[in-house]
Amino acid sequence: MSHEDETDHSKRAQDEHIESIEAAPHQNPEPPEYPQDKALELIADAGQSTTLTAENNARVLREIDLRLLPILLGIYFLQQLDKSTLSYASVFGLVEKAHLHGQEYSWLGAVVYLVQLVAQPFVAYILVKVPLGKFLACTTLCWGIALTCMTPANSFGGLLVCRMVLGLFEAGIPPAFIAITQMWYRRLEQPVRLGSWYAMNGVVNMFGSLITYGLGHIKSSVLEPYQIIFLFFGLITIVFSGAILYFMPDSPVQAKFLQEEDKLLAIERLRMNQQGLETHEWKWNHVKEACFDIKSFFWFALMFSISIPSGGISTFGSLIIESFGFDQFQTILFNIPFGAVQLLATMGGAWLATTLKMKGPVIALLCLPAIAGCVMLLRIAHDGHHNGALLAGYYIVSVYPGITPLIYSWSAGNTAGETKKKVVNGVVLVGQCAGNVLGSNLYTTNEAPLYRRGLLSNLAMFCLLIMLCLMNLAYLFFLNTKHEKQRARLGKSAKIVDHSMQAVGAVPVDKTDAAPPQTLSEDNAFKDLTDWMNEDFVYVY
């Protein structure tokens, strides 16, 4: 069935729609006969819709941010901290005490991502079926237990099993976070929110390094310094899972911290995303579309390309600094500026993407300093006389983490349909896991101090990213043109304003954020249509 035929078929099958908010903002919508989005159920139960204004939007957005962001930031901080404990532990004698040889240390870093790669199809299905808040609480508890169990492990086999379990339960965190961002935020707001929790990578490299520096000075006759690190962070993670269970809402529909009117406003904020809210219904036609959508391959390629340098540098970052000639405590301290640059690049990239309302060009821009940093590390002599320049090159490379959340956001903003969103998120994470596995193994301890193979591969991937961005931009332009022609054939306005990328109140009163230019008797916002099926969907660059 062609794209156009599938769209028409979907329209014929769905014969009851939400009335126009513009024409009847408080009219009780009749419930449709087809399986509907939870947002429509809430509107039907309330007996009315609502009108979004700049004032009530700002108030509800503030409430959502205050409840969600501390939890999401805390979870991601702990996840990155728990994964980074391997890198910190390597500085405090893990390699020697556990008798790791050859590629064994590399595989301890890579196995987390390998398990996550295998788990993604199952995670995609689970995320459609289960409440997201409870899912996050359970997975956080389980990976905290896995990290705690690394404390007594003193061999490659024991550490490998613990790292596999750790990776399994961390596998659902990024796709769940992307789903939560799609569920709660307008497309204009998504880059900064995605960037904020991903920026915890930089915070981990700063404060994690300081905490580890302190833990490394603890003298114990029972535990090695690296075992204290595993135990400390594992127990903190277990305790935090209880806070997630209590405070994290499952969706705007079930959010107890919002009044009923504010729940309606939270839903109305999402109408112009044209992405729906939640249905808990797995649809195989969405899966098929995701598999045949060229965008899915672009998201995979983009994430795979950035994850190769990410996997290598995150695992070997401390060893790269140590190769400049610093001792273990100097290495930990010199890793702090790396985190600061990560933080600035991630939030700066998100701010720039929000300001320009484009993500592809910002991704290409962030590749340029990373390319320069790789060249510096490859060309400057490691002779003990150029440590300042080598550190500068290492810090310049560290702008690359700002790229990953922009790819998350770019993918999330261009995908609609409950099942398709989860499948595409899974595709993105498969690319990330595969890249991290390969990236970790392109660096080996035998290549110290130059790590030439790893750095050359990173340089090639940053160049490839620029080319992929240009190709994807061209394809999105083609899809927008195709949707314009579809709208014209259906008697709608070919050119429509993408209100999801506009600030609320930034348009005239007669063209409010509550409704697009065409009548909403044909509103597709909460019909669980994919972006291909929905001619009102506007792709973002």
Q: Is residue 357 pLDDT above 60, yes or no?
A: yes
Q: Is the bond preceding 35 in cis, omega lying within 30 degrees of 0?
A: no
Report percent pLDDT > 70 for the chain: 87
Q: What pLDDT shows up at residue 32?
A: 39
Predicted TM-score (pTM) of this structure: 0.81
CA distances from 486 to 7, 229, 535 (A): 9, 58, 6
User: Looking at this protein, which amino acid is placed at residue 369?
Assistant: P
Phi, psi of 271 (to 5 degrees): -55, -45
Q: Which is higher by pLDDT, 518 or 238?
A: 238
DSSP secondary structure letter of residue 402: G
What percentage of the chain's residues is helix, strand, coil (to nearest 5)? Answer: 70, 0, 30
Token pair 């098929």 in the structure block, residue: 288
Q: How far, in Å, CA of 402 to CA of 176, rounded?
A: 19
Residue 538 neighbours by CB under 8 Å, 6+ apart: 274, 480, 483, 496, 498, 500, 501
Q: How far, in Å, CA of 338 to CA of 325, rounded?
A: 17
Q: What pLDDT shows up at residue 523?
A: 67
**Is residue 23 classed exposed, middle or buried when 0-12, 13-18 and 19+ CB atoms within 10 A define those classes?**
exposed
Contact predicate 74/151, CB 8 Å: no
Alpha helix segments (H runs only) across 380-415: 387-397, 403-413
User: Looking at this protein, which amino acid is placed at residue 470?
Assistant: L
Q: How far, in Å, CA of 374 to CA of 149, rounded?
A: 37
The first and second tokens of residue 2, run together, are 């062609």
The first and second tokens of residue 218, run together, are 């603890």
pLDDT band at 521, cuts 50/70/90?
very low
User: Looking at this protein, which amino acid is placed at residue 28?
Assistant: N
Q: What pLDDT shows up at residue 107?
A: 83
| Mean pLDDT computed over 371-380 | 91
Long-range Cβ contact pairs of 491-495 (< 8 A, separation 24 or more): 492/517, 492/518, 492/522, 492/535, 492/536, 493/517, 493/518
Q: What pLDDT shows up at residue 49?
A: 64
Cα 362 off chain centre by: 17
Residue 245 neighbours by CB under 8 Å, 6+ apart: 133, 134, 137
Q: How far, in Å, CA of 106 to CA of 316, rounded?
A: 9
The first and second tokens of residue 17, run together, are 């729609």
User: Looking at this protein, which amino acid is placed at residue 253?
Assistant: V
Nearest of 494, 486, 501, 491 to residue 534 by alpha carbon: 486
CA distances from 432 to 183, 221, 334, 426 (A): 22, 40, 27, 10
Arithmetic mean of pLDDT over the chain: 83
Q: What pLDDT shows up at residue 46?
A: 60
Domain at 54-272+285-478: CATH code? 1.20.1250.20
CA distances from 254 to 43, 54, 68, 120 (A): 13, 24, 14, 26
- Rg of the chain over CA atoms, in angstroms? 24
| Mean pLDDT computed over 23-45 | 50
Nearest of 44, 73, 238 to residue 141 by alpha carbon: 238
**Is residue 178 classed exposed, middle or buried when 0-12, 13-18 and 19+ CB atoms within 10 A define those classes?**
buried
Q: What pLDDT shows up at residue 217?
A: 80
Q: What pLDDT shows up at residue 4?
A: 45
| Mean pLDDT computed over 513-518 | 42
Report percent pLDDT > 90 for the chain: 44
Task: Return the C-alpha torsion angle 12, 281, 431, 245, nearest 10.
Answer: 140
Least confident of 13-17, 220-224, 423-427, 455-459: 13-17
Q: How far, in Å, CA of 526 to CA of 267, rounded?
A: 10
What tens digit of pLDDT does each residue of 421-437 get?
Answer: 999 999 999 998 888 88
Nearest of 223, 209, 237, 225 to residue 82 by alpha carbon: 237
Helix 360-379 × helix 403-413 angle, to 10°: 160
What tens digit of pLDDT does each residue of 178-232 get?
Answer: 999 999 999 999 999 999 998 888 888 788 777 887 887 888 888 888 889 899 9
Q: What pLDDT shows up at residue 27?
A: 36
Q: How far, in Å, CA of 489 to CA of 491, rounded?
A: 5
What tens digit of pLDDT does each residue of 260-285 get?
Answer: 888 888 888 888 888 777 777 889 99
Domain boundaries, the chain: 54-272+285-478
The first and second tokens of residue 127, run together, are 């995320």
Contact predicate 468/369, CB 8 Å: no
What tens digit of pLDDT does each residue of 63-105 get?
Answer: 999 999 999 999 999 988 887 788 778 778 888 888 888 778 8
Nearest of 422, 298, 273 to residue 363 by alpha carbon: 298
Q: How far, in Å, CA of 338 to CA of 401, rounded?
A: 11
pLDDT band at 38, cuts 50/70/90?
low
Cα 194 off chain centre by: 6
Q: What pLDDT shows up at residue 17?
A: 36
Sign of the dihedral defined by the CA atoms of residues 226, 343, 59, 539, in that order? negative
Residue 426 neighbours by CB under 8 Å, 6+ apart: 120, 121, 123, 124, 175
What tens digit of pLDDT does each residue of 392-406 get?
Answer: 888 899 899 899 999
Q: Is residue 138 pLDDT above 60, yes or no?
A: yes
